């Protein structure tokens, strides 16, 4: 450790200027030596190579480096983006050329080329709805010409939404890839969002009934409503919606696009202006409707819906796509170069054993030594990846090759974390000191837990042997053995006192009625405030303290003497831990060579004294 590093640590841990003395500095030097010896022993024992340590340290490290990398919180960014888009509605049509996400490259290319061909036809002036009706793989296109109506954020798959929000009125998109295939999107309008609307409805289903009679009935209901008829009663009597007819026909609030399968209903609902206003009867594919406006709900302020919106975004594919984009950016930034032929050979070795967490490498020795990829010109070998697989593989429902790719991405991500960490340590003193402090702190905790704390608490034989050595330290005055009951209900206490005096056993229900129940243990006079308020004789004693009533069931009195092991076990463990640590550190000082520089010691003392 350098003088500068020591001065930095001393100042950090000694905020009072009166501590800047030669004895305090000497004391801190010894503490630091002991600390560094323990950390060195932790590394020698391989604690820093265990999966448990690596996992915990990586969690700390990844959180610590975020402010230094100025990383974007993708979930927060996407939530704000979704909120801003909820303020707008887009009207668009589309043509879909289906192709599955895992399609072979020739099939994907064929679909893309077809989309380009259709786009060229549209640019030459063919009518969008006509082309959509003829060729789109969206089944509804034959009926609606690909018309999607108005929609807002979180209603379409994210790549589709992203493209629609970046198109101007009357623009036609390039082919847009989603998990359904390639889309051509034509935007007709952008308008401010109308928020949500809440309505109640009466519906008369047409089905196979007499349409003329049903139409007459809905208009008759409408006339009764306009004449002052009771909405709830008419709804209960006539509506064919069994789930809402007994509750006034009230529906959950909905926004634009939610009722896209019943566009007449959506249009009529948003056309109403004032709460209580009733629509004219109108017909849809489901029957005849009358609706009443209950309320219009504008987009709430961001803070009111942020948590709900964030949960929706977290479940949406947009977060995964953004993370994949960020992953690609990090790879490019760190000079990622993959050895494609080696990766192909690794994928060929993936079999069903990988899916049960039992895969073993069965390739050649040359392949094992091959470079799988490079980061910043540093090679990462197949051998390192195989070791990672052995540690990480578990049961998976993916196919063998897909699961191998997933493990590969995790391995690359771990390597990226290490590369970014190395860059930061080299370029940023604050980060380097902070990460070193966390790393050594975790090592210290782990090595102390293994060599001191667990040994002291688990070795009962040694604990009792240690107790015999130091038992005279645990002298006690007069004590009593008792259990204590407390309550604020004096009548309840009197009842319980009688039952305890008779020797009745108390049930769990009885015990729960007390404010507190302390099981039988030994007390000196100052161990509990109530002990100074009762006579020290066997039997049931009563006391009152600050509005709380106590029963003290005294079992026996104990003469002054040495406390039993059971009474002082916690203190014995603590003393034994200190003894173990002293002996352990003494052994470490013999095991490792410790040298201090006399001139440097004088320098830090004089330097600190000047502050």
Domain CATH for 165: 3.10.50.40
Q: Is residue 308 situated within a structural domain?
A: no
Supply the pLDDT for residue 65.
80
Average pLDDT over residues 179-193: 96
Instruction: Walk across the sheet containing 254-255 and list its strands.
Output: 254-255, 196-205, 287-297, 282-284
CA dihedral 508, 513, 515, 520 (to 10 degrees): -30
Q: Are 405 and 350 in contact (CB under 8 A)?
A: no
Determine, yes or no, domain membership for 63: no
173: CB partners within 8 A, 6+ apart: 163, 164, 167, 183, 184, 185, 186
On whether both 527 and 603 belong to a single domain, the answer is: no
User: Residue 71: what pLDDT?
Assistant: 53
Q: Are residues 414 and 552 in the same domain?
A: no
Same domain? For 483 and 466 the reply is no
Above pLDDT 90, what percent of the chain? 70
**pLDDT at site 72:** 58
Do 392 and 404 reside in the same domain of the chain?
yes
DSSP assignment string, 373-390:
EEETTEEEEHHHHHHHHH
Q: In 162-309, at which residue ranges do the beta strands (DSSP E only) sit?
A: 176-178, 181-192, 196-205, 254-255, 282-284, 287-297
Query: Which is more confident, 551 or 599?
Result: 551
What CA–CA distance (Å, rounded) separates 335 from 356? 34
d(Cα 83, Cα 154) in Å, to the nearest integer? Answer: 10
CA 273, CA 294: separation in Å to the nearest integer?
10
Lowest mean per-residue pLDDT among 7-11, 22-26, 34-38, 53-57: 7-11
DSSP state of 207: T
For the chain, what is the mean pLDDT?
A: 91
Residues 577, 442 within the same domain? yes
pLDDT at 285: 87
Q: What is the mean pLDDT of residues 274-297?
A: 95
CA 405 to centroid of chain Cα atoms: 24
Q: What is the CA radius of gyration of the chain?
A: 38
Whether 200 and 286 map to the same domain: the answer is yes
| Contact (Cβ atoms closer than 8 angstroms) between residue 394 and residue 357 | yes
26, part of any domain:
yes
Q: Is the predicted pLDDT of residue 195 greater than 80, yes or no?
A: yes
Say whether pLDDT at 405 is over 60.
yes
Tell me, yes or no, whether 235 and 146 share the same domain.
Answer: no
Number of independent structural domains in the chain: 5
User: Does residue 20 register a pLDDT over 80?
Assistant: no
Residue 202 banded pLDDT, cuts 50, 70, 90: very high
- What average pLDDT does range 386-402 have in this prediction? 93
In total, the chain counts a number of residues equal to: 611
pLDDT at residue 4, rounded to an integer: 74
Strand 539-545's sheet: what is its strand order? 516-523, 479-487, 548-558, 539-545
The pLDDT of residue 193 is above 90: yes
H/E stretch holding 88:
strand 88-98
Q: Is the pLDDT of residue 296 over 90?
A: yes
Q: How remote is the C-alpha of 323 from its chain's centroid?
A: 15
Cα 481 from Cα 520, distance rounded (Å): 7
Residue 215: what pLDDT?
92
Confidence of residue 200 (pLDDT cuts 50, 70, 90): very high
| 450 in the same domain as 572 | yes
Please state, in angstroms and rounded to a whole number, the distance separating the CA atoms of residues 7 and 415.
34
**Which domain-ending residue is among 384, 401, 424?**
424
Higher pLDDT, 598 or 342: 342
Domain residues for the domain of 347 are 334-424
- E strand intervals along 209-334: 254-255, 282-284, 287-297
Q: Say yes or no to pLDDT of 5 above 80.
A: no
Q: Given a cut of 80, is residue 76 above it in pLDDT? A: yes
pLDDT at 90: 96
**Token couple for 325:** 């984009």
Say yes or no to pLDDT of 69 above 70: no
Does residue 207 carry a pLDDT above 90?
no
| pLDDT tens digits along 446-503 | 999 999 998 888 888 999 999 999 999 999 999 999 999 999 999 999 999 988 888 8
Domain match, 107 and 181 both: yes
Structure tokens at 432: 């380097």
Residue 352 is assigned to a structural domain of this protein? yes
Residue for token pair 């399609």:
103
Among 564, 569, 572, 560, smallest CA distance to 476 is for: 560
Given 408, 424, 440, which residue is the final one in a domain?
Answer: 424
Question: Minimal CA–CA distance to 585: which of 38, 29, 77?
Answer: 38
Please enumerate in sequence order all residues whose Cβ is within 8 A of that of 269, keeping only pairs 6 or more positions apart, or say none: 197, 199, 254, 259, 279, 291, 293
Residues 179 and 241 in one domain: no
pLDDT at 10: 76
Specify the range with the lowest mean pLDDT, choosing from 63-77, 122-136, 197-211: 63-77
Residue 317 lies inside a defined structural domain of this protein: no
Band of the pLDDT at 70, cuts 50, 70, 90?
A: low
Longest dimension (CA), the chain: 108
Residue 101 scores a pLDDT above 70 = yes
Q: Which two tokens stand for residue 334?
A: 């760190």
Q: Which pTM was predicted? A: 0.57
Residue 344 has pLDDT above 90, yes or no: yes
Task: Give the three-class secondary structure for 150.
Answer: strand
Compute the half-sphere exposure of residue 475: CA atoms within 13 Å on the CB side of its CA. Answer: 3
283 and 216 within one domain: yes
Q: Is residue 81 part of a domain?
A: no
What pLDDT is recorded for position 440? 92
pLDDT for residue 73 is more than 90: no
Nearest to 231 by CA among 246, 216, 217: 246
For the chain, what percentages of helix, strand and coil (3-state, to nearest 5) are there? 55, 20, 25
| Residue 201 within a domain | yes
Task: Supply φ then ψ for residue 180, to 5 degrees.
Answer: -90, -20
Do 272 and 376 share a structural domain?
no
* Strand stretches in 471-610, DSSP E: 475-476, 479-487, 516-523, 539-545, 548-558, 561-562
Domain contains 370 = yes
Q: Which of the listed residues 188, 209, 228 is the one where a domain comes to its end?
A: 188
Contact 413, 327 (CB under 8 A): yes
Q: Which residues, 6+ apart, have CB-to-CB distance to 275 below 8 Å?
A: 293, 294, 295, 296
């Amino acid at each position: 450790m350098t003088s500068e590093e020591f001065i930095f640590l001393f100042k950090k841990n000694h905020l009072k200027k009166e501590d800047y003395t030669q004895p305090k500095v000497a004391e801190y030097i010894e503490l630091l030596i002991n600390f560094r010896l323990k950390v060195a022993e932790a590394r020698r024992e391989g604690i820093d190579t265990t999966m448990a340590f690596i996992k915990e340290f990586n969690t700390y490290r990844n959180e610590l480096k975020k402010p230094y990398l100025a990383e974007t919180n993708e979930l927060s960014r996407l939530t704000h983006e979704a909120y801003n888009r909820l303020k707008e509605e887009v009207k668009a049509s589309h043509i879909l050329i289906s192709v599955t996400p895992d399609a072979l490259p020739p099939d994907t290319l064929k679909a893309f080329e077809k989309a380009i061909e259709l786009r060229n036809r549209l640019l030459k002036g063919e009518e969008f709805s006509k082309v959509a009706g003829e060729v789109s793989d969206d089944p509804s296109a034959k009926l609606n010409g690909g018309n999607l109506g108005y929609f807002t954020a979180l209603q379409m798959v994210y790549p589709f939404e992203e493209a629609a929000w970046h198109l101007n009125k009357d623009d036609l998109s390039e082919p847009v890839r989603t998990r359904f295939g390639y889309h051509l999107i034509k935007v007709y309008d952008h308008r401010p969002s109308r928020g949500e609307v809440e309505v109640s409805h009466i519906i008369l289903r047409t089905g196979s009934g007499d349409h003329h009679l049903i139409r007459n009935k809905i208009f008759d209901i409408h006339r009764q409503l306009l004449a002052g008829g009771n909405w709830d009663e008419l709804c209960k009597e006539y509506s064919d919606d069994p789930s809402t007819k007994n509750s006034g026909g009230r529906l959950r609030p909905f926004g634009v696009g939610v009722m896209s399968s019943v566009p007449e209903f959506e249009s009529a609902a948003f056309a109403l202006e004032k709460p209580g206003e009733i629509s004219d009867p109108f017909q849809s594919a489901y029957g005849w409707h009358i609706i009443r406006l209950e309320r219009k709900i504008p987009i709430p302020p961001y803070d009111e819906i942020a948590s709900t919106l964030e949960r929706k975004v977290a479940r949406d594919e947009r977060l995964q796509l953004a993370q994949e984009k960020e992953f690609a950016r990090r790879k490019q930034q760190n000079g990622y170069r993959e050895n494609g032929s080696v990766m192909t050979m690794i994928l060929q070795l993936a079999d069903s054993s990988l899916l049960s967490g039992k895969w073993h490498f069965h390739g050649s020795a040359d392949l094992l030594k091959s470079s799988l990829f490079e980061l910043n010109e540093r090679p990462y070998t197949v051998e390192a990846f195989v070791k990672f697989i052995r540690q990480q593989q578990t049961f998976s429902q993916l196919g063998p090759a897909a699961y191998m790719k997933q493990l590969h991405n995790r391995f690359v991500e771990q390597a990226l974390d290490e590369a970014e960490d190395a860059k930061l340590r080299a370029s940023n003193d604050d980060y380097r000191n902070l990460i070193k402090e966390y790393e050594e702190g975790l090592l210290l905790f782990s090595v102390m837990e293994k060599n001191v704390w667990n040994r002291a608490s688990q070795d009962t034989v040694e604990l009792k042997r240690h107790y015999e050595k130091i038992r005279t330290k645990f002298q006690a005055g007069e004590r009593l053995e008792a259990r204590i009951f407390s309550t604020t209900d004096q009548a309840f206490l009197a009842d319980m006192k009688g039952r305890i005096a008779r020797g009745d056993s108390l049930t769990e229900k009885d015990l729960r009625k007390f404010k507190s129940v302390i099981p039988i243990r030994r007390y000196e006079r100052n161990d509990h405030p109530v002990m100074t308020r009762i006579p020290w004789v066997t039997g049931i004693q009563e006391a009152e303290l600050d509005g709380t009533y106590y029963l003290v069931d005294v079992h026996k009195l104990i003469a002054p003497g040495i406390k039993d092991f059971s009474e002082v076990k916690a203190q014995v463990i603590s003393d034994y831990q200190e003894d173990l640590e002293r002996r352990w550190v003494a052994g470490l000082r013999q095991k490792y060579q410790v040298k201090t520089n006399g001139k440097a010691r004088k320098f830090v003392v004089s330097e600190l004294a000047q502050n």
